[in-house]
Structure 1
Amino acid sequence: MEKLKHHLPKDFKIGAAVSAWQTEGWSGKKDGQDSYLDLWYKNNKNVWHNGYGPAVATDFRNRYKEDIGYMKEIGLTHFRTSINWSRFLTDYENAVVDEDYAAYIDDVINELLENGIEPMIALEHYEVPAQLFEQYGAWGSKHVIELYIKYAEKVFERYGDRVKHWFAFNEPVVVQTRVYLDSIRWPFEQNTKKWMQWNYNKALATARLVKLFKEKGLGEKYGAKIGSILNPEVTYARSTAPHDQEAARMYDLFFNRTFLDPAIKGEFPQELFDLMKKHDITPDYTEEELRVIKENTVDYVGLNLYFPHRVQARTSGWNERIPFHPSYYYEKFELPGKKMNPYRGWEIYPQIMYDMGKRMKEEYGNIEWFIAENGMGVENEQRFKDEEGVIQDDYRIEFISEHLKWLLKGVEEGVNCTGYMLWAFSDCVSPMNAFKNRYGLVEINLDDNRNRKLKKSASWYKSIIETREFEAANDAINK
């Protein structure tokens, strides 16, 4: 198929992402500093692929200089990661800083800046302290919001002069959806009202963080911005029929607008409150809290986009003996003939970039946003090594190219997207799948002391950063 050249806008940011818990490992971790992910791994290790988990991860804690060297070699302009709340403090109630871990974060930030790479920092990427999960129910508790703000204040004081990109959460909907709604992760408690309380409290915590950020004057003093990283699932109805369109709208309301609306518009949809009341899942809230949410919206958002979500109207009755679940209003639709990533089980549909971008323009005031994650996980990548041992991941190059092509089509039409952060900089451990599917520009060889090697995609990524252009198939995008 013929390929056409596409050009990146002058100031369009190109970087990569990976979180603290997925890379650091437990080296130097003190007793009592487990995160929720550490707790899950220790209590339910058998569900993690081949038993790999966060214990060693990629050993970034000891090899960050080496890895940042690779980032510089690739030419990344930005690197998105997180600070591990569970490790940053030794006393969560009084926000006592662990000086060893804080010094390490200092070193990472300084090393990035010295190599011309802007750090982008999330304050929570599933790393809520295990102690707070066990003692208070983590984000089910308003007290944990207070402790989060204490933690954030210490972080801002320590690094606010150097970090210009801050984020309240990465994918705030995920943990409680897996644990309390779908009950597929430890501790497997089905509790829809608790799910909604977590959703609400995280939206409130985001607003509280924005308020703290403004009080600290980090925007005025250092030109910093505050946002959150959300993972809306671009939702398509099976058909144009009203019942299918309604199913898609309801899915979007419960899973996407629950975070997009309060973060950007400063309010939850009234319809969501009506439905929560109807199904007895209304969280504890106050009018004062809603005012805080209204007055403290984000500067921008990062969006993690991987695949479309397709739904249809329910074709079977609802079992009234089980607790309410949003799927009361929809069921999944399997599109015949869809293109798949068979390793991850996700549909490949690059048009989600364009469609979400148009929605941000039309429904959310064309707020500034960027792709905070997008990438392709593939199993057994060693199959694709050439005679020099370099993984020839042309499938990843094609995946990125096609998604960038659709993203830039939106930008050309006025969509306010300012960058693309690939998931991931390096292979890394993921929840349950561990190292099964590899996402990185950099290979992590588990059989060879976790040594690193650039994949073909790393050289290609370097080229598009340097030349500001790439090729993609000339398909039906403009037809």
Structure 2
Amino acid sequence: MVKKEEFLRENGFEKEGLEEVSRSDFPSDFVFGVATSAYQIEGASKEGGRGPSIWDAYAYTEGKILDKSNGDVAVDHHHRYKEDIDLIAKLGFSAYRFSISWSRIFPDGLGTNVNDEGITFYNNIINALLEKGIQPFVTLYHWDLPLHLEESMGGWLNKKIIEYFAVYADTCFASFGDRVKNWITINEPLQTAVGGYDAGVNAPGRCENRSVEPYLAAHHQILAHAAAVSIYRSKYKDKQGGQVGLVVDSEWAEPNSDKIEDKSAAARHLDFHLGWFLRPLYYGDYPEVMRERLGDQLPKFPEEDKKFLLNSLDFIGLNHYTTRLISHATESTEECHYDKAQQLDRIVEWEGGDLIGEKAASEWLYAVPWGLRKIINHISQKYATPIYVTENGMDDEDNDSLSLNEMLDDKMRVRYYKGYLASVAQAIKDGADVRGHFAWSLLDNFEWAQGYTKRFGLVYVDYKNGLTRHPKSSAYWFSRFLKDGANKKGKEQ
């Protein structure tokens, strides 16, 4: 097993999380932003011509959401977007990553009847951001598939969805691309594939055919991404001058020993997370280790698809929260087919019993800043494309027994961001082309299957008193961090 002190010393991480970090540690054009997603914040689920999504149906399924809540109102961003954008501006962020709800644009998802009210709503958000000097980073798909597509044709399991996604993307590029220059096609396709079609913990909540469906859902998402990029490049890029990327998510996988089998298990874990989606876009096929372990369960790309996929992204978006020590497992007790196929153990303790990092509210989330530097360098060396850290953050437990002031004083979140931003700065010094960092999240919100029990926001939302917004200590820390950089820049000029 890995000894903590030895590992930290050998990797130069002895001071990890203790070092100071400042805006001047980053390039002057580095983008600092905050991120959200439509279903988690918008609410107004039956207003403005919006059609239902798979998350509307899933949230109403008995036993799926921890606190029996849903996103019908969420944090009411649909009516409060001006207030929220004012907050982003006051805190000093230069970018805002948000997602468009597909069923607000096409209520049935089919691409025949555009909902003008939905177009207007997102136009209003984009214009409000630009008025404040904030760059919009727009995600086309953040898990909320129009319900009609799921019920009528099986959603991501049906190849026809690639065409429907392409029409939806085309409509968004045509409607918003004169002002939006940074596009993300799909957020975390792995979570849709595994959570939605294997573990059953995300919408649509399927686990009937675990050895086939997750890989088919992933396959169609990859092709849908490439179709959207092809449309953008052929119809819009010359005129609009924007860029299109894909967001993948992964923890860092650190081998738990120097044994070859543990090193292989860690590499395998990264291939199953990152390589699953990035390798087809760079090399035209899935990682060899996935082909070996999954065989015919993994769909094949015909030659024309391979050519279609190659180099179909301008940047990689990385959602990263935590890290694990990885060891090879001779037998797997995992229920998920995807997890079982990897044949490994994910460990959160060093030799001697110390935790790998400070634990947040979610059982899976430990603060391990050095992991972000390692995963950025891994992606940079393997795929050599500009990287944006598109989500990064930690959560607190919603706690009625604490006063508002106690909830706002989020010291661990401040420590988390200091450490993780220092790690990004180090990765840039190592030579990685990292262009931006987005904190997850601007607001406490509907946290999927956890409902409102976990709070990831820089801004506290008072669910019991009119959804009022209260910036936390971490929000003020970011504000000082960003404004110090702006002040120094002003003096230099």
Q: State whether TM-score is above 0.5.
A: yes
Equivalent in 269, 288, 298 of residue 304 of structure 2: 288
CA contact (8 A) 1:29 1:87 kept: no
What is residue 98 of structure 2 aligned with on the other side? 81
| Matched-pair contact (CA < 8 Å) for 1:95–1:150 | no
Within a 5 Å distance, the mapping from 1:184-223 to structure 2 comes to 184-185=201-202, 186-218=205-237, 220-223=238-241
What's the offset of the Cα at 1:371? Answer: 0.7
Percent identity of the aligned residues? 25
Q: Is the 8 A contact 1:264 1:298 kept in 2?
A: no
Q: Distance in 2 between matches of 1:230 and 1:317?
A: 25
Q: Give the one of 432, 446, 451 matched to 1:415.
A: 432
Q: Deviations over 1:244-286 (max 9, x none)?
A: 1222222222222101222345543344334332xx3032642
Residue 153 of structure 1 is aligned with which of 156, 162, 170?
170
The aligned counterpart of 2:343 is 329
What residue is the counterpart of 2:38 in the other structure?
20
Corresponding residue SS for 1:63: helix
Rate the CA distance shift 1:5–1:356 in 2: closer, same or farther, 3 A.
closer
Partner of 1:476: none
Please list, as runs of the form range in 1=range in 2, the aligned pairs for 1:282-321 lying within 5 A after superposition.
282-283=298-299, 285-294=301-310, 296-316=311-331
Q: CA offset at residue 226 of structure 1?
A: 0.4
Looking at structure 2, the residues matched to 343 and 420 of structure 1 have their Cα atoms a distance apart, in angstroms, of 22
Q: Which stretch shows the higher mean deviation, 304-313 or 393-402?
A: 304-313
| Distance change (3 Å), C-alpha of 1:304 and 1:323 | closer
Q: CA deviation at 1:35?
A: 1.2
Rounded Cα–Cα distance in structure 1 between residues aligned with 2:480 and 2:342: 48
**CA displacement 1:59-96 (0-9 Å, x = unmatched):** 00111011111111111100001100022113433432
Q: Deviations over 1:415-466 (max 9, x none)?
A: 1001110000111111111121111111110010111111122121111111
Shift of 1:149: 0.3
Which SS does the other structure have where 1:168 is aligned? Answer: strand
Instruction: Map 1:353-432 onto structure 2 (within 5 A).
Output: 353-365=372-384, 367-380=385-398, 391-432=408-449
**Aligned runs of 1:134-173 on 2, under 5 Å?**
134-173=151-190
- Is 1:261 matched with 2:275? no
User: In structure 1, what is the equivalent of residue 4 of structure 2?
Assistant: none
User: Structure 2 stretches of 5 or more lacking a match?
Assistant: 1-14, 488-493
Shift of 1:239: 1.2
AA aligned opposite 1:254 = F
- Is residue 2:465 matched to residue 1:448? yes
Cα shift readout 1:11-50 (whole Å, capped 9, x = no counterpart)? 1111100001111113444788111211111223x33232
CA deviation profile, 1:275-319 (whole Å, cap 9, x unmatched): 332xx303264222222112x420001100100133221143789
Q: Does the 8 A contact of 1:89 with 1:96 survive in 2?
A: yes
Aligned 1:43-122 pairs, distance under 5 A: 43-44=61-62, 46-122=63-139
The amino acid of 2:297's aligned partner reads I
For the 8 Å contact 2:20–2:418, the answer to whether it is kept is: no
CA contact (8 A) 1:8 1:469 kept: no
Deviation at 1:407, TM superposition (A): 1.0
Q: Deviations over 1:120-171 (max 9, x none)?
A: 0011000111111122221111101110001111111100100010011111
CA contact (8 A) 1:81 1:120 kept: yes
Residues paired across the two proteins, number: 462
Measured in 1, the distance between the counterparts of 2:150 and 2:45 equals 22
TM-aligned CA distance change 1:92 to 1:27, over 3 Å: closer
Q: Distance in 2 between matches of 1:107 and 1:129?
A: 22
Would you say 1:244 and 2:262 are equivalent positions? yes
Letter in 2 for 1:122: T
Specify the code of the residue in structure 1 equivalent to 2:39.
Answer: W
Q: Whole-Å Cα distance in 1 between the matches of residues 87 and 50 of structure 2?
A: 33
2:253 match: 235
The alpha-carbon distance between structure 1 residues 469 and 268, as it changes in their structure 2 partners (threshold 3 A), is: farther
Conserved in 2, the CA contact under 8 Å of 1:225 and 1:299? yes
TM-score if structure 1 supplies the norm length?
0.90
Q: Is the 8 A contact 1:304 1:371 kept in 2?
A: yes
Higher mean C-alpha displacement, 300-309 vs 281-290: 281-290
Tell me, in whole angstroms, the C-alpha distance in 2 between the residues paired with 1:37 and 1:114: 32
Kindly indicate whether residue 365 of structure 2 is the aligned counterpart of residue 349 of structure 1.
no
- SS class of match (1:90): coil
CA distance in 2, matches of 1:270, 1:328: 13
Partner of 2:9: none
| Cα distance, 1:351 vs structure 2 | 0.7
Q: Which amino acid in the other structure matches residue 55 of structure 1?
A: D
What is the CA–CA distance in structure 1 between the aligned matches of 2:212 and 2:399, rounded to whole Å? 41
Kindly provide the amino acid, as one letter, of the partner of residue 181 in structure 2: K
Q: What value does the CA root-mean-square deviation take over the aligned residues?
A: 2.5
* Aligned match of 1:38: 56
CA distance in 1, matches of 2:221, 2:338: 21
Which residue of the other structure, out of 275, 279, 290, is the alignment partner of 1:272?
Answer: 290
| Shift in Å, 1:175 | 2.0
Partner of 2:244: 226
- Contact 2:316–2:387 under 8 Å retained in 1: yes
Equivalent-residue separation in structure 1 for 2:164 and 2:220 (angstroms): 13
Distance in 1 between the 2:116 and 2:49 partners? 15
Counterparts of 1:74 and 1:29, CA distance in 2: 30
Rate the CA distance shift 1:92–1:323 in 2: closer, same or farther, 3 A.
closer
Contact in 2 for aligned 1:374/1:422 (Cα 8 Å):
yes
| SS at 1:55 equivalent | coil
Choose 183-192 or 207-216, whichever is displaced more: 183-192
Q: Residue 315 and residue 152 in structure 1: after superposition, are their counterparts in 2 closer, same or farther (change >3 A)?
A: same
Between 1:229-238 and 1:106-115, the stretch displaced more is: 229-238
Partner of 1:461: 478
The question of whether the paired residues in 2 share the 8 Å contact of 1:384 and 1:393 is answered with no
Gaps of 5+ in 1: 471-479
